[in-house]
Amino acid sequence: MDLAALLDRIADDVAPEIGRGAVADYIPALARVEPRQFGMAIAEVDGSVHGVGDWRRPFSIQSMSKVFTLALVLAHDDGVWTRVGREPSGDPFNSLVQLEHEDGIPRNPFINAGALVVTDELAHHGDATEALLRFLRKESGHPEIDVDSEVAASEAEHADRNRALAYFMASYRNMRNPVPAVLDQYVRQCSIAMSCHDVARSAVFLARHGLRNDGSRLLGQSAAKRVNAVMLTCGTYDAAGEFAYRVGLPGKSGVGGGIVAIVPGRCAVCVWSPGLDARGNSVAGVAALDRFTTLTGWSIF
């Protein structure tokens, strides 16, 4: 398949969707992003990468970071599953209510409460953000990948809800490290800036059943399968059912407008367009992935 031509066709097909939706406006640094941008990259398991549009422009990865932190934690051991579940929550990503009913154990690692637990677990093995940056820089081949300090400062100022989640879990003894330290790491991870190229290259280990770009193993085959499974069921806020219906791939979105999706055995795809739908998923991004699986037949179903 000519993936460069495929990407050109997808970009043409979704052009009417680009700029639709609303950019995230909970912090000024995201509210200012020009909505009429679109990029898409495909990183194949053999190492080749193809892209279209703004595929080399860095954007705020936000909750897409949650996939990588989960993988890095599971690379140590699978003890984190005693502290976080793997069921869709059906509640907004930053909801507090379920946590009280379920004794401080978050439903899954991709809602904020679950990601805070994962970051806490990763921080137990050393500096969590440094470990994440080291991994992303190596996989993408871009050593300049870093935290956007303006986004991080702004996130930290508006982190009351996440702070509340973390302290609430601490009250159930589901935090190992001091809350301020975990929160700082979490905020910094969300504030990393990367391009579609970098995200796709960094996520392709999930298409390679756990093998990194240099051939070394990050995750065993089962752990890689599990990360993909949780992405499918919980990766796109409370629209994971709709995403599975339209796209049919494991995916994880972020409020910066990025979505990373995995075609096991073939490739990782990252698409970015900042306009979000009411659930927080990129309008043009979901449309592009919908076209991608329709045109290629590369859904998991």
Which residues participate in catalysis according to the annotation? 63, 66, 186, 237, 255
Provide the minimum distance between the beta carbon of 283 and ligand GLU in the complex, in angstroms, as a whole number.
15
User: What span, in angstroms and rounded, lies between the C-alpha atoms of 264 and 148?
Assistant: 31
Nearer to ligand GLU, 223 or 276 (CB): 276
8 Å CB contact between 279 and 238? yes
Q: How many CA atoms within 13 Å lie on the side-chain side of 167?
A: 7
Nearer to ligand GLU, 66 or 226 (CB): 66
Provide the minimum distance between the beta carbon of 30 and ligand GLU in the complex, in angstroms, as a whole number.
9
CA nearest to 243, candidates 85, 251, 263:
251
Q: Does 93 bind ligand GLU (CB under 6 A)?
A: yes
Provide the minimum distance between the beta carbon of 129 and ligand GLU in the complex, in angstroms, as a whole number.
14
Mark residues 55-74: x for contact with ligand GLU by CB under 6 A, - for none.
-------xx-----------
Nearer to ligand GLU, 162 or 174 (CB): 162
User: What span, in angstroms and rounded, lies between the C-alpha atoms of 109 and 6?
Assistant: 33
Provide the minimum distance between the beta carbon of 256 and ligand GLU in the complex, in angstroms, as a whole number.
7
CA distances for 222 relative to 25, 49, 75, 122, 226, angstroms:
38, 26, 11, 20, 6
Give exposure, 227-236, as e/b (b: 16+ Cβ within 10 Å): bbebbbbbbb
- Angle, CA of 183, 186 and 192, to the nearest 5°: 140
- Which distant-in-sequence residues (6+ apart) come within 8 Å of 196 by Cβ? 39, 40, 41, 51, 54, 55, 56, 258, 270, 271, 272
Q: What is the CA radius of gyration of the chain?
A: 17
Which residue from 37, 140, 162, 236 is in contact with ligand GLU, where contact means CB under 6 A?
Answer: 162
* Binding positions for ligand GLU, 191-250, rule CB under 6 A: none
DSSP string for residues in 139-179: HHT-TT-EE-HHHHHHHHHT-HHHHHHHHHHHHTT--SS-H
Which residue from 155, 184, 198, 290 is in contact with ligand GLU, where contact means CB under 6 A?
Answer: 155
Which residue from 1, 12, 28, 94 is in contact with ligand GLU, where contact means CB under 6 A?
Answer: 94
Which residue from 21, 58, 254, 285 is in contact with ligand GLU, where contact means CB under 6 A?
Answer: 254
Provide the minimum distance between the beta carbon of 186 and ligand GLU in the complex, in angstroms, as a whole number.
7
Nearer to ligand GLU, 112 or 140 (CB): 112
Nearer to ligand GLU, 112 or 293 (CB): 112
Burial class (CB in 10 A: 0-12, 13-18, 19+), 9: middle
Provide the minimum distance between the beta carbon of 277 and ligand GLU in the complex, in angstroms, as a whole number.
13
Mark residues 109-138: x for contact with ligand GLU by CB under 6 A, - for none.
---x--------------------------
Nearer to ligand GLU, 59 or 93 (CB): 93
Q: In this structure, how many other beta carbons lie within 10 angstroms of the beta carbon of residue 67?
A: 28
Where along the sequence are the contacts to ligand GLU (CB under 6 A)? Answer: 62-63, 93-94, 112, 155, 162, 190, 254-255
